[in-house]
Amino acid sequence: MAYQRGSLKKVPRKEGDTWVLRYRVATADGRRVENTLPIGLVRDLPSEKAAWREVDRLGLLIRVNSEAPAPGRIHFAALAEHYLKADFGQDAVRPKSENTALTVQHIVRDYLIPRFGTQIAEDIKSLDIQRWLNSLHTDNGLAWTSVSKVRGVMLRAYKTGILHELVSRNPAQPVETRSTSDYRAIVITPQQTRSILRTLSCPLHRILVITCAATALRASELIALRWVDLRFDEERIRICKRWSRGKEGATKTAYSDGFVPLHPCLARHMRAWRARTPFGKDTDFVFPSFKASGKVPLSAGIFAADHLRLAAIKAGVRIPEGYRFGLHNLRHSLSNWMVNKGKVDPKTVQGILRHSRIQTTLDLYTQGDADETRAAQGAFLKALRTHSGAVQ
């Protein structure tokens, strides 16, 4: 059926005159009949222009132009595409990051639609979904955490469909998956980190590793740093953005937007690097790409694959073939050292790592302190023996 905008009409209702959207639907025998959708009371929407704005806000034209032959009989492909438009548009209750949007689009269009797209959404059986998700793990080798994300997206697509009255049931609701991962991050000791620093010949790479090891910043946050973000007088680093897909964007979560401590020992190394780098202006990247003349930061992934991984193996770190190892392992390592060796208050560690929930760090509830986080970072730097000049 061709795209239709429909028309507005005022109809008397018990609660008062009501705006309705009139449009055509196709029945099972191929006939086209009129159908209506309520928009709102005339007293709340006094003009036709206001009523059309409400139509757009409710996403009714998306619903009207779905591929369904009749209400309640929408194909899953149309339901999924409706979800992408409705849950990631202006009406989204919870705004999504660009990375999240791209991930969800990948799941919808590369997994869900190829499997269920041609089926009527309400006819899909929960057991079929369960068996398919299990096969993604057993036959396709997808990690259970990834399978759980696929199930979560399907669940959300149906919830959005129920909200917009496209479907009346959610067959993904009773389906179960495992949400835990078998992956265990490789953690390294301060001594191994020191050996890695000695192996790295490039000053840029050394200062990158020492900064990551001492701050536990995510790689995307680390390479997004500009000199203006380093508050030397305040002894802290401002974290308000990340570098992802070739451009700056918001931090991973709202809780990630904040500060990490800048211990005097680390500040000394950063000042020495600033005096050495050709890109030392406030607006320059702290860890620039020399090949790009400092216009963009260096690539964390390329650095990890070409330099960090090899340096770690030379330092005696056991990294199985095909196993992940990168800057994020330094984040794990600092957390592990602080909790197990430094005996640092878990709430303080949570503050440094900027986890949104203490359960991510440890299931304890205490209040962190800025001075304590700097002291904890200093203890780690002392264990790393950076005072001896191993970095520069």
Average of pLDDT values for 109-123? 91
For 344-381, give one letter per residue: b (16+ CB within 10 A) or e.
Answer: bbbbbbbbbbbbeeeeebbeeeeebeeebbbebbbbbb
Q: Which residue type is seen at 297?
A: P
pLDDT reported for residue 262: 94
* Residue 230 bridge partners (DSSP): 237
Q: Which residue has the higher pLDDT, 96 or 108?
A: 108
Average of pLDDT values for 315-327? 89
Nearest to 229 by CA among 211, 204, 254, 244: 211
Average of pLDDT values for 101-125? 90
Domains of the chain by range and CATH?
Answer: 1-65 (no CATH), 67-183 (1.10.150.130), 190-388 (1.10.443.10)
pLDDT reported for residue 37: 83
In this predicted structure, the answer to whether residue 145 has a pLDDT above a threshold of 90 is: no
Q: DSSP E strands: which ranges in 93-233? A: 230-231
Q: How confident is the model at residue 367 (pLDDT cuts 50, 70, 90)?
A: very low
In this predicted structure, the answer to whether residue 105 has a pLDDT above a threshold of 80 is: yes
For 81-96, give one letter per residue: b (16+ CB within 10 A) or e.
Answer: bbbbebbeeeeeeeee
In this predicted structure, the answer to whether residue 377 has a pLDDT above a threshold of 60 is: yes
- 3-state helix, strand, coil split of the chain in percent (to 5) is 50, 10, 40
Asked if 279 and 296 count as a contact pair (C-beta separation under 8 A), the reply is: no
Q: Is 319 helix (H, G, I), strand (E, B) or coil?
A: coil
**Burial class of residue 386, CB neighbours in 10 A (0-12, 13-18, 19+):** buried
In this predicted structure, the answer to whether residue 364 has a pLDDT above a threshold of 60 is: no
pTM: 0.63
In this predicted structure, the answer to whether residue 275 has a pLDDT above a threshold of 90 is: yes
Q: Is 30 helix (H, G, I), strand (E, B) or coil?
A: coil
pLDDT reported for residue 94: 65
Nearest to 79 by CA among 174, 173, 170: 170
